[in-house]
Structure 1
């Protein structure tokens, strides 16, 4: 479904969206450091620093001001420390726990929704379950789609697909499609991608390249008219198709300890130059997901080697069991100002490379540094220093002005 398309296609995080920067970071949160509240009418104003002795202020007012600035100091420190912690590793080498939705790119996208026609009210007792094992397709790849009807308790209901068609879906400016509608067939006979005959789940394994869409570069929609008893329904699936890969993987991989990190190096034969966004998953020796590693930079045409770094401090902090395994490498050439916004590379599914055993002392424990990170931390430090200065001023003993 299109909602699943939006959720799945972004690769989470979105760090690659800032295509003009190889190391984008979140914008800082500004801590407002307002002046202390105005003194109540009738009280003497506090003179500016260096202009003479200050008058004794009301103890309750001083206590309130100290409490206010103590809260601001605490908040400023929390924001600074949270930003420092969040950026201690680079965007291209992050803990697996931060990206649970990206660790298994081959898992189907599953949804449950009311079985109904568009615009019609939902009817109790009829639910539709859909499954789609991939959103993006490239070249000869195929997608597996399935639908099933269940009641409110999850028990199967009879379901028939009365009509199913595939067609190019219009995006942006309307234009006549060069591709006609193609009838497709969902089955429940244990064939063509169907896992079990007669279980009520109707399945289609569909390959755009062999169904008249071999040259299409864009969005394909598969629409279904459904019937369960007297209840009619409608559903659709969207896939984004790339006919030819802009680069192809070359065999082999290697590793290198560089600048205190463990780089996993892969080779590409690049046909189209541009910004490539690559993601890989790293598991420890026990099969536990450890890191999501990536590459986000421009590549010129030709044979190129790219590094997927496992950052040194991430290794030192996480202490994974070696050897590590790189698996499920996915990637695309980013198109910044068009739809589709990417041209896919063929996925390297399963194990891609296993490292040798390492000791943690080989890697650096230093935090990641960048000009942008340093600039943000400097501003956060200013917020902390301002709050500390205000507290010191409010804590100094006041003197009584002489005659």
Structure 2
């Protein structure tokens, strides 16, 4: 599931919980109010029935006793506050569409091509680790499109972060996660370097580096997990570590032509031409920065594409621009895309990622963008129900208002 859609599902779930909470609270209110009325002695007028005044029309009765009325009014005031908070939170969370969101909402998506770094005790497989010696690993990609390579590195440090001597004894590239079926792929020895060659940045710095390219190492047909298992040693302490990658052997589509931009209905459409080889549902995600390099928006496409020449449109929503007021021109960068494959593993076939700047927009005045909130049938339906909850609480509070003094 795409992160943006997952985020909105969380919003919807929270909103539904809010409605359940309010409904449950209403039941509690109804049960508690009669109890309060029963515990407070009062002389009731002739019109009172069972401790409550007869209502003039449809709806719940109003407690005749002032203490009971005040207690129920306090409960409904709390309910009104919660109903208003739920409605306003939902309205705020859905004022932009799912495919054009503030990038600050997705901090893990701001710089998707930054390497993944981890640290763990040096250990052998299945044994306790040595906390005095820790392994630092570095990996620039997890998902590999056809023809792509991954750069991997490992070093040993002490508890103060000082680099320790390390020897990579053996590194084997093989198919991973095969279960009981075993692997039909080869096992390939891979060399790590700490001599400034083979992708290593600095000789003798204690950081051992290698580059893996499945297509050139016997794994051109592998669609699944590719694992690099590494045996190493720091001083007298042996250890083991592995790196996992997910390989896509065939590119289902390729980028073609020059990116374009167009204003439509008060929003900016960032358009990417694509030649689709395999029809299906494509998920495309890009990041938008302003002229000062400040992250602005996460824009996305998630829809079916047929074979042939297509155009993917990443919308920059008008109200989002009006609210954030970014400095122009804007930059679309770091675009990644894949064909979604349902009910199988891996669940996606990757396209080659587009790293860095993909498109720089023209400069636009803020008035060129619409200030209208996003609308949909689902959003309207939810807001209507939340408005009903607020109106119900307000109406009940009016019924429970203290009677006017003669």
The TM-score, its normalising length taken from structure 1, stands at 0.89
1:32 to 4, 22, 25: 22
Mapped contact 1:16–1:296 kept (Cα < 8 A): no
| Structure-2 residue corresponding to 1:57 | 65
Aligned to 1:309: 315
User: Which residue of the partner structure matches residue 238 of structure 1?
Assistant: 244
Is the Cα–Cα contact under 8 Å of residues 103 and 289 in structure 1 kept in the other structure?
yes
- Measured in 2, the distance between the counterparts of 1:333 and 1:128 equals 35
Query: By how many angstroms is 1:241 displaced?
Result: 0.6
Say whether residues 1:118 and 2:125 are aligned partners: yes
Distance 1:211 1:390 in 2: 73
Task: Tell me, in whole angstroms, the C-alpha distance in 2 between the residues paired with 1:165 and 1:255.
Answer: 46
- Which of 103, 125, 129 aligns to 2:136? It is 129
Cα distance, 1:71–1:275 mapped onto 2, change above 3 Å: same
Deviations 1:345-398 (A, max 9, x none): 111111111111111111110000111111111221122122212222221429
Shift of 1:169: 1.3
Separation in structure 2 between the aligned mates of residue 47 and residue 247 of structure 1, nearest angstrom = 72
Q: 3-state SS of the aligned residue for 1:251?
A: coil
> Comparing both chains, which one has the higher relative contact order based on Cα–Cα distances under 8 Å and sequence gaps of 6 or more?
1
Structure 1 CA distance for aligned equivalents of residues 188 and 121 of structure 2: 26
Q: CA deviation at 1:229?
A: 1.4
Is the contact between residue 25 and residue 373 of structure 1 (CA under 8 Å) also seen in structure 2? no
1:362 aligns with 2:368: yes
Pair 1:204–1:32, CA change in 2 (3 A): same
2:390 pairs with 1:384: yes
Tell whether 2:353 aligns with 1:347. Answer: yes
Indicate how the Cα distance of structure 1 residues 398 and 47 shifts in structure 2: closer, same or farther if over 3 A, else same.
farther
Q: Could you tell me which of 176, 182, 205 is aligned with 1:176?
A: 182
Where in structure 2 are the equivalents of 1:4-403 lying within 5 Å? 13-15=3-5, 26-27=12-13, 28-29=15-16, 30=19, 31-33=21-23, 34-35=26-27, 36=29, 37=32, 38-40=34-36, 41=38, 44-47=50-53, 49-50=55-56, 56-59=64-67, 61-170=68-177, 174-397=180-403
Matched position secondary structure for 2:111: coil
1:176-235: CA deviations, max 9, x gaps?
322021111211111111111111111111111111001111111111122111222221
Is the contact made by 1:312 and 1:365 (CA closer than 8 Å) also made in structure 2?
Answer: yes
**Post-superposition CA distance 1:133-160 (Å, at most 9, x none):** 0101112111011111111111111111
Aligned partners of 1:166 and 1:220 also within 8 Å = yes
Contact 1:256/1:262 (CA < 8 Å) preserved in 2? yes
From the superposition, tell whether residues 48 and 192 of structure 1 become closer, same or farther in structure 2 (CA, over 3 Å). Answer: farther
Contact 2:62 2:69 in 1 (8 A): no
C-alpha displacement of 1:26? 2.9
Alpha-carbon spacing, 1:387–1:225, altered in 2? closer, same or farther (3 Å): same
Distance 2:258 2:79 in 1: 54
Gap runs ≥5 in structure 1: 1-9
How many pairs does the alignment contain? 384
Asked if structure 2 preserves the Cα contact closer than 8 Å seen for 1:332 and 1:345, the reply is yes
When residues 50 and 244 of structure 1 are mapped into structure 2, their CA distance, relative to the original with a 3 A threshold, is same
Q: Which protein is richer in helix relative to its size? A: 2
TM-score relative to the length of structure 2: 0.89
Are 1:57 and 1:398, in contact at CA under 8 Å, matched by a contact in 2?
Answer: no
Measured in 2, the distance between the counterparts of 1:92 and 1:292 equals 8
SS of equivalent to 1:26: helix
Q: Tell me by how many angstroms 1:16 deviates.
A: 6.8
d(CA) in 2 for partners of 1:190, 1:67? 73
Q: CA RMSD in A?
A: 2.4
